[in-house]
Amino acid sequence: MAFSLGQYVKENLLAVQEYSFLSWRAFANLFSQPRYLGDMLQQMDVIGVGSLPIVVLTGFFTGAVLALQSANSLARFGALSFTGQLVSMSMVRELGPVLTSLMVAGRNASGMASELGSMRVTEQIDAMRALGTDPSRKLVTPRLTATMFMLFFLTILSDLVGLAGGAAIALILLRLDLNEYWTSAWQTLRYADVFMGLTKPVLFGFIIATIGCYYGLSAKGGTQGVGRATTQAVVAASVLILAVDLFVTRLLMVMLGPL
């Protein structure tokens, strides 16, 4: 039992070491040639444009449900006019970045893991090394750059669509004045709120890309191994996003003062 536990610990420490090394190399590749800009643009299209429908739908319905639920509580205190403020703060600071990242992780972390895992088990990665091409520079860095860049703008879009979903509920069901809703939603936001909401997607994008690529490049055991790597990538990325969100939120609260 002691041997099995020790072996388990060693394997996990080795995995953390390999993941850290891969992440560092992928990030460091940004500052040296070659950069494979064509691959970066292709990944931006796949990750960013391809994720638009699910991000828009998630943002809209999240904002709508948030407005509906908050109005139910605010109405008890005669504060229904604060619905726009609550939706705005919740979407920009927390729900927008986190839910958008989880949707992108479910769609793209799995895609990266399956694509790179298939290349690994069919020995295409070994062929690239034999031809003198660095797999981390050619395969990982473009995905890392594209995910961090596009998730930033996808989060902004999700925030706006979420506010629009809240506005639709405010107008149709709550009978609130739209001008009042948008004015309160806009005026309640401060620099610290926006900074927090736009810092998180960059960090989450880093997690999604590196986790997806790591599990793909470490896949073993043929098609079954690729399937396991795909599942592990989504689970690990989702859990890390939620865990990092807690620590980043606390850190930013300390740095930026009371929000």
Instruction: Give the model confidence (pLDDT) of 111-124 as tens digits.
Output: 899 988 888 888 88
Q: What is the pLDDT of residue 258?
A: 60
Q: What integer pLDDT is reported at residue 2 of this predicted model? A: 47
pTM, two decimals, is: 0.89
Residue closest to 233 by CA, chosen among 245, 225, 222, 244: 225
* Res 3: pLDDT: 52
Q: How far is CA 130 from CA 29, 47, 125, in A?
A: 19, 29, 9
State the pLDDT at residue 259. 56
Angle at 234 between CA 38 and CA 207, to 5 degrees: 60
Note the pLDDT of residue 221.
77
Residue 225 falls within a domain, yes or no? yes
Helix axes 141-172, 96-104, angle to 10 degrees: 130
1 lies in a domain?
no
In a domain? residue 191: yes
Q: What is the pLDDT of residue 1?
A: 44
Flag residues of the chain having pLDDT under 70: 1-3, 257-259
At 42, the amino acid letter reads Q
Range of the domain at 79: 34-256
Q: Examine residue 239 and state whether it is found in any structural domain, yes or no.
A: yes
Residue 24 belongs to a domain:
no
What region, left, alpha or beta, does residue 134 occupy, with left being phi > 0 and alpha being psi -120 to 50 degrees?
beta
Residue 3 resides in a domain: no
pLDDT at 126: 83
Does residue 152 fall inside a structural domain?
A: yes
Q: Does 135 sit behind a cis peptide bond, omega within 30 degrees of 0 on the bond before it?
A: no
Q: For residues 207, 211, 214 and 219, what is the CA-based torsion angle, rounded to 10 degrees?
A: -170
- Number of domains the chain contains: 1
Q: Establish if 222 belongs to a structural domain.
A: yes
Query: What's the CA dihedral at 77, 79, 80, 86 to 10 degrees?
Result: -110
The predicted pLDDT at position 192 comes to 86
CA dihedral 27, 114, 40, 236 (to 10 degrees): -40
Measured over all CA atoms, what is the biggest interatomic distance in the chain, rounded to whole angstroms? 70
CA–CA distance, 41 with 43 (Å, rounded to integer) = 5
pLDDT digits (tens, 9 = 90+) for 67-122: 888 877 777 777 777 788 888 988 998 899 999 999 999 989 988 999 888 888 88
